[in-house]
Chain A
Amino acid sequence: MGVDGSRAGDALLRVEDLRISFGHGRHRTEVVHGVDLTLRAGECLAVVGESGSGKTVTGRTLAGLTGPGATVDARRLDFDGQDMTAAGEREWRRIRGAEIGLVLQDALVSLDPLRRIGAEIEEALANHGVGTRRDRPGRAVELLREVAVPEPEWRARQFPHQLSGGQRQRALIASAIAAGPRVLIADEPTTALDMTVQEQILDLLAARRDAGTALLLISHDLAVVARLADRIAVMHDGRLVETGPTERLLAAPTHPYTRHLLDAVPSARRPRRSVVPAAGASTAAGNGGVDRTDVSHGQATGAVVLSVEGVGKRFPAPGGGIDALSGVSCTLRAGETLGVLGESGSGKSTLAQVVLGLMEPDEGAVSLLGRPWSGRGERSRAGLRGRIQLVQQDPLSSFDPRWTVERIVAEALGAGGRRAARGHRPRITELLGLVGLGPELLDRGPRGLSGGQRQRVAIARALAPEPDVLVCDEPVSALDVSVQAQVLDVFEHVRERLGVAMLFISHDLGVVRHVSDRVAVMRAGRIVETGPVERVFTRPEHPWTRQLLDALPRPGTSPTSPAGRSMPGHVS
């Protein structure tokens, strides 16, 4: 393989007017409408789009894995000069793995959980007759070493669940590159991973690219892609709306949708409240304009509404137990938003449970509005219950599946029955209006709502008892970026209108920077750093915070990023 000829080399993949549809006859729907792509050896092309944009189907079609019931049409679908438009399963099988590799998102489910890591890699070798049965195990270990899995001899004999997320993803990559494919298609390869691990996997992919592999990177995350891609293709509703060299596309996007995508990403590298309402998000924009001047949110100096003092919580576990929380103290003042930042397992959700009184702390105390809140029976809390409310990560599971929107919100107003709910209609409509929803949704069930609508209903419900404190536990993590931006605007709006204090829990640095006045960074059950949001993000004191910030991918547009720190060297 001519590594140095990466730019001049002929395209390995060339696709023209690719159309994909599902179903038959009347029920046939086209999901990809004429996509053109070329991919050369040693180049990384990123296809970026939100869920439903058709990026995943496109990627799979390039490996001949569109799925059952699909029809694929293309004027041209060439692999290395060979026409694949009429290729049957037999020809695809020869190419899959040997010439085109595919890496999926979550290695925990993308590797067979019942088979050893080594066996999965050996399967790829055996399928294409690489090596003999005898030397394949050794070759599998070699491959694991190549992708920098520590102790490869041992890991090869382990099962996927025994590896860490990062190691698993490496092993998955090893199995995809085992038979030496010249093209690697990576579909959201880092999405399920923590920030620090994400960076390592991107480095690994970059190394493959530099070694001459043609890399097609599929992602929803512009920031991730920017680190690696030579060219970016933005996909929206089954079409490529804009394609161009990474630097140009990020610095000067020409298509409105690209601009919208760039704006919608709450950047951890930009100061808060720079997110503009999404171009097409009429509901949020319509309400966002109301009463913006009512409450000014400068430095919060209000009374303390929530105080957490020296809280500890221990869970039983093999080997003595785990400190989910230890010595956690923080305060929340009226009208202020405290962002709680931490990776999975840092104890941030346990903190939410304790603060809400759903779990009793083993040590320390929580007080709400100056009165004791922890360590008392649920019955005696009744008077204060409505003062603190919750917005959960997955709104769907937080609704009784049989109820309508009206009943869901009415229950929070103290009306559980269907008839009683009717009587509260005006107030319910008002609450829905506050979160940018119309009254036409009143009779819908939770399953008839979009993800964004569901989360708005959850917010409306939380606001019904007129709380002083809103605990938001990863409230936007399950949403697409543009929907995320709209829901963040709803929070912003609610806080301006009602002056409610928020404990905002998230793993996403961008989101936290966007919504918070102050930030508490958690790690292993402790708060390692607290401070005003700007100070923490620009001058982090604790090494862990610094590590988190360093792991952030830096899009070229970011004004604070030292130019080209991690930009790929060569651009086609």
Chain B
Amino acid sequence: MDNQQFRVCPDTGLKFFRSAEALMKANAVAAVVFLLVGGIYGLGVGLTRWPAVHLLQADQFYLALTAHGINVLLFWCIFFEIAVLYFCSSVLLGCRLAAPKVAWAGFALMLIGALMNNYVVLQGNASVMFTSYAPMEAPPLFYLSLILFAVGALFGCFVFFGTLVIAKNEKTYEGSVPLVTFGAITAAIIAVFTIVSGAIILIPTLAWSVGLISHIDSLMYRLVWWAFGHSSQQINIAAQIAVWYAIASIVFGAKPMSEKVSRMAFLLYILFLQLASAHHLLVDPGVSSEFKMFNTSYAMYLAVMASMIHGLTVPGSIEAAQRAHGFNSGFFEWLRKAPWGNPTFSGMFISLIGFGFLGGITGVVMGAEQINIIVHNTLYVPGHFHATVVLGTTLAFMAFTYWLVPILFRRELIMKGLASWQPYLFGLGMSGVALFMMGAGTLGVPRRHYDISFSGTGGIVHEFPAAANTLMALNGLSVLLAVIGGASFCIIIVGSLLFGKKLGENEKCSVSMITAPPAEEAYEGIGKGPITVPGTLVLAMIFFVSFAVYYFINWKYLAETWGIG
């Protein structure tokens, strides 16, 4: 292979193929742009929900909510994930990208779809929310834009799988793919199921909106749409966990505690994570309790088990590496001596804790068939998924981006001081958003609702407990903090791409971009007795107790309401 096709990164030794490099850049930049757009809409939503501010008019609010959801849940996450897929295949396997032209076509389709969608929604007659529940109807272009975007993303998945084949045939690596690549395979598989389900439901819905089909069944729509809508968030989880493992290796030189355990946990995702689409049907008519219980539990909580395994092995691999690096005393020296000023690490660790404690626990609890009755469609639901998709996925992707800018774009980061604070600002703000919305949801405050004071109903009102207004004000403040954090991210990244000090092809970055793994012998005798990662075990136990207590508290809440049969 001639040298023109790739460069070797002077900081990391990774091979960047020119074809893959340009595509990763394009997808990552598009991702950040749509994060920015979605974030601005999110600010409008948060400030409108703040009773004392109530910023937007009703039609503007529903428009902003629709645009916010689609831009961040789909466009930001999936553009970034395509970049991650190319990184995990081409870069990590040291292999040229399969069919770059197909990849560019995919990128173009995604971009056209995303722009078209924003255009249609901004017109004002497509405020149908991310879910666009039939028989509420949007203009045909709305469905078409999502189909184009999804097909583009499917092209990206094909290119990823194609690259795996080339790498294997050309023997660019030996043995099995790296664990991080395996995580990306998991994400790509879930993406294929997601996109196929999206096609199954969106194509007939498009046909219906142009009048070719007379009727779309509301329940059938919900069943199939959620195989798309929820699974797309499961792509995020798989990709985010791949990123966690990657960052643990980048920042600490960590190795998986056990390849077998981590890969089996990903296999449980591949098989069962997507069943959680049933979370949205738990209080729907027409589907049986057996269907609900089996699917909502991801087949007896096997995919939850997988998440809890990753939740142990990611910090566990960090702890083991830190101990091998010499930080072996006590339970938490490894954590205290971690580089908390490095946004790649702090972002990843806040993502891990936030995703687990705020997003994970609440997701499983409200996914219990009967508990869902006191949660469904309240603000608790967006509270939960701001902990998973934003605090978890988005923050993990932000953390990874701080590392990618010098490595991929060959630019030094600007405003490094702000960058080291950014994950804390964003993490704190978003934790507040998640907690306060969940609190308000517990008091019955509905989601997707313009006015919980019911001022326009001519006197038929419902008064929520006074605490609900306080919580919504606190939510508004948290939104401001999160937006400052999110805007800082966008400014730092876009600013670095435009104005960051250029790094020559063979010039090293001013800071170390990767930590060499500790010697194998250094792992001997770490930890306490037979337990190599005692600190992580303590954290895991705290997590487990919080989970169990919170789980049973919710059954108690449920028991206090009306009898339901």
Physical interaction between A and B: no
Interface residues of B (CB under 8 A from A): none
